[in-house]
């Protein structure tokens, strides 16, 4: 993979979606990449480029991870397109049947070759009137537009529309995936390979999610005032608990204490658990945070160690530093490929 390549995904969410459920899906995807653009009512675009190093996977694998999480946590089927820019990803998604992904390679000229035999009307911005005008000149496919001399296309459509159409016919789109606003919530989740009955594994999974939330909050220079824990069972039912934090924070031990308190309140015992999700809510900038002075040297040492670990992760990668209790726990790394 080239360091200059972009990897854009376009997801279609199938089935009826409430506004709240759509927002929950956006929050979930923000846990994979912060570059999430909503396309209401049932689509979303993701720039996966910056997420590849974090997950240590290929773009297609990260996209499948996102689709798996949406299906496992919300029961929503998806289809997707993956390409080197927003336009190609959206066009690829339009050709993907439910449950499938169409991947257009980021190799040079791959997008242009994929476009060649497609109808002109498939290009964004080409409406019925433009397609009819082009058809009168025998121009029916995108490849024919790409091969046409610029001056000829300008005589047909005019200079501005001709330049835009020629770029699209060659697969060119430089527009970035731009999030509409700072995320209101932040979600981390873990999907198990098989149903889990072990209370120790429940504890470790939620502890790992609290650590993930803390790292991401601190990386974004944000804090949270409340957490919500959702546990989904093998029969697709679920339990949810929400609690306010004693004070707004991004400190992992404080998040873990509240998250584990919610877990204990569920009294899972012999419940067959399939997935966990921890959501941080009521986010704010870290500059607005206050910290109750405890006059406790251990608390100050813990915060100093946490800051040092964050610096090491930013420099050497996500797995450079892990809490000892989570060294072998999969939720602290990545979600399994398949449940």
Q: What is the pLDDT of residues 173-226, one digit of tens each?
A: 988 887 765 567 788 888 888 888 888 899 999 999 999 999 988 888 889 999
> Strand 36-39 vs strand 8-13: parallel, antiparallel, or unpaired?
unpaired
Question: What's the pLDDT score for residue 221?
Answer: 83
Question: What's the pLDDT score for residue 236?
Answer: 81
Question: What's the pLDDT score for residue 337?
Answer: 30
- Cβ atoms of 75 and 37 within 8 Å: the answer is no
- Pairwise CA distance, residues 66 & 74, whole Å: 12
Instruction: Specify the 3-state DSSP secondary structure of 6.
Output: coil
Fold type of domain 110-169 = DNA polymerase; domain 1 (1.10.150)
- Assigned token pair, 23: 């927002």
Question: Does the domain made of 8-103 have the CATH classification 3.40.50.1000?
Answer: no
Residue 333 has pLDDT above 50, yes or no: no
Q: What is the pTM of this model?
A: 0.63
**Domain chopping of the chain, boundaries:** 8-103, 110-169, 186-332
Question: What's the pLDDT score for residue 336?
Answer: 31
Closest CA to 85 of 1, 171, 179, 163: 171
What is the arithmetic mean of pLDDT over 242-249?
Answer: 91
Closest CA to 339 of 277, 279, 275: 275
Question: What's the pLDDT score for residue 2?
Answer: 53
Q: How many CA atoms lie within 13 A of 24 on its CB side?
A: 18
- Cβ atoms of 227 and 242 within 8 Å: the answer is yes
Question: What's the pLDDT score for residue 14?
Answer: 94
- Cβ atoms of 60 and 77 within 8 Å: the answer is no
List CB contacts of 255: < 8 A, sequence separation 6 or more: 210, 211, 213, 214, 224, 227, 245, 249, 280
Q: Could you tell me what percent of the chain has a pLDDT over 70? A: 83
How open is the CA angle 232-238-244, to the nearest 5 degrees? 95
What would the pLDDT profile of 28-58 be if each residue is shown by its tens digit?
998 899 899 988 889 999 999 989 988 889 9
Helix spans in the chain (H): 19-30, 52-55, 59-74, 86-95, 110-115, 128-136, 142-147, 150-157, 159-169, 199-219, 252-266, 297-316
Question: What's the pLDDT score for residue 70?
Answer: 94
Question: What's the pLDDT score for residue 83?
Answer: 96
- Assigned token pair, 150: 């610029």
Pairwise pLDDT comparison (312 vs 203), residue with the higher score = 203
Q: Could you tell me the maximum CA-CA distance found in the chain, to the nearest angstrom?
A: 81
- Assigned token pair, 318: 């996500």
> Strand 186-196 vs strand 36-39: parallel, antiparallel, or unpaired?
unpaired
What would the pLDDT profile of 79-128 be if each residue is shown by its tens digit?
999 999 999 999 999 999 999 999 999 888 899 999 999 999 999 888 88
CATH code for residues 186-332: 3.30.1490.100
- Assigned token pair, 46: 């993701």
- Cβ atoms of 66 and 26 within 8 Å: the answer is no
- Pairwise CA distance, residues 115 & 92, whole Å: 10
Residue 330 has pLDDT above 60, yes or no: no
Question: What's the pLDDT score for residue 166?
Answer: 93
- Pairwise CA distance, residues 33 & 114, whole Å: 27
- Pairwise CA distance, residues 16 & 202, whole Å: 32
> In b/e form, how buried is each residue of 304-332, taking b as 16+ CB within 10 angstroms?
eebeebbeebeeeebeebbbeebeebbbb
What would the pLDDT profile of 130-180 be if each residue is shown by its tens digit?
999 999 999 999 999 999 999 999 999 999 899 999 999 999 998 888 776
DSSP one-letter code for 36: E
What is the arithmetic mean of pLDDT over 17-37?
Answer: 88
What's phi and psi for 311, nearest 5 deg? Answer: -65, -40
For the ranges 234-248, 256-270, 281-295, the lowest mean pLDDT is seen at 281-295
Question: What's the pLDDT score for residue 187?
Answer: 86
- Pairwise CA distance, residues 319 & 127, whole Å: 49
Helix spans in 170-251 (H): 199-219
């Amino acid at each position: 993979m080239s360091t200059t390549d972009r990897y854009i995904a376009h997801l279609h969410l199938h089935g009826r979606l409430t506004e709240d459920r759509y927002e929950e899906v956006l929050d979930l995807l923000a846990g994979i990449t912060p570059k999430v653009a909503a396309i209401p009512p049932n689509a979303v675009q993701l720039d996966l480029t910056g997420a590849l190093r974090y997950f240590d996977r290929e773009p297609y694998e990260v996209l499948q991870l996102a689709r798996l999480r949406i299906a496992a946590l919300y029961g929503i089927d998806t289809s997707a397109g993956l390409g080197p820019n927003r336009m190609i990803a959206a066009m690829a998604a339009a050709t993907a049947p439910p449950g499938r992904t169409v991947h257009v390679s980021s190799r040079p000229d791959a997008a242009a070759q994929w476009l060649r035999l497609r109808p002109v009307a498939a290009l964004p911005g080409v409406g019925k009137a433009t397609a009819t005008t082009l058809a009168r000149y025998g121009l029916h496919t995108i490849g024919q537009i790409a091969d046409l001399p610029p001056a000829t296309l300008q005589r047909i459509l005019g200079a501005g529309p001709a330049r835009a159409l020629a770029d699209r016919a060659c697969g060119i789109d430089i527009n970035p995936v731009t999030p509409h606003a700072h995320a209101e919530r932040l979600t981390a989740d873990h999907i198990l390979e098989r149903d889990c009955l072990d209370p120790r594994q429940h504890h470790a999974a939620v502890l790992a999610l609290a650590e993930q939330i803390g790292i991401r909050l601190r990386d974004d220079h944000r804090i949270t005032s409340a957490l919500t824990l959702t546990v989904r069972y093998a029969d697709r039912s679920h339990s949810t608990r929400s609690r306010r934090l004693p004070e707004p924070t991004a400190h992992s031990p404080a998040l873990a204490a509240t998250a584990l308190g919610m877990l204990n309140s569920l009294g899972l015992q012999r419940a067959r658990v399939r997935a966990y999700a921890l959501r941080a809510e009521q986010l704010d900038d870290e500059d607005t945070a206050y910290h109750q002075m405890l006059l406790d040297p251990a608390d100050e040492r813990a915060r100093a160690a946490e800051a040092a670990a964050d610096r090491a992760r930013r420099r050497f990668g996500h797995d450079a530093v892990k809490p000892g209790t989570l060294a072998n726990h999969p939720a602290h790394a990545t979600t399994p490929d398949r449940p």
